[in-house]
Amino acid sequence: MKKISVIFVVLLCLAGCSTTTALYQVRAQNKAKITRLTPGMTKDKVLNMMGTKEIIVCNSWGDTIGVVKNPFKTELLKTNNKTYEILYYYTDIIHSDADISEDELTPIVFENNKLIGFGWQVLSWAEEKEK
C-alpha cells in the first residue's frame, strides 16, 4: 500500500506540479527572455515571447506550496497625461521564503500597447516623467 501511495504522489507531481527546481528554471527563462525584448514591441508580441504559463509548485510530498503566474501580476499606472501598463515577471530570488516579493519581480512597461522598456529604472522614469 505504501508503494502505491508513493507512486500516486509522484504521478500527481508529474501531472500538475513542479518542484522548486522549476522555479529556478522559470526565473532563468524569464531573465533570458527579457533581454531579447526591444522597445516598440506590441504587448501581444511580448506576451507571446515571455509566455503566460501558470506553474503550480509542489513540495516533495505533492502538496501545493504556491503558484507562479507569467506575468506574475499586472497593474496600470495613471499619471497626469498618460496611462502605463506594467507586467511583472518573476526573475530573481532575494529572500529564501515561500513568498515572491516585489523586489524579486522585473517590471515590463507599456505605453499605448507598445513596450517602452523593462526594469525598475524604466518604471521610475515613467513615474517621474509626469511629475
Number of domains in the chain: 1
Which domain, by its residues, includes 53? 2-129
- Grid cell in block for residue 34: 527579457
Q: Do residues 7 and 62 lie in contact, with contact meaning Cβ atoms separated by under 8 Å?
A: no
Looking at the whole model, is its pTM more than 0.85? no
| Amino acid found at 123 | L
**pLDDT of the chain, 131 residues: tens digit per residue:** 444 443 434 444 444 666 666 778 888 999 999 999 999 999 999 999 999 988 887 777 878 777 889 999 999 998 878 899 999 999 988 877 667 889 999 999 999 999 999 999 998 887 776 55
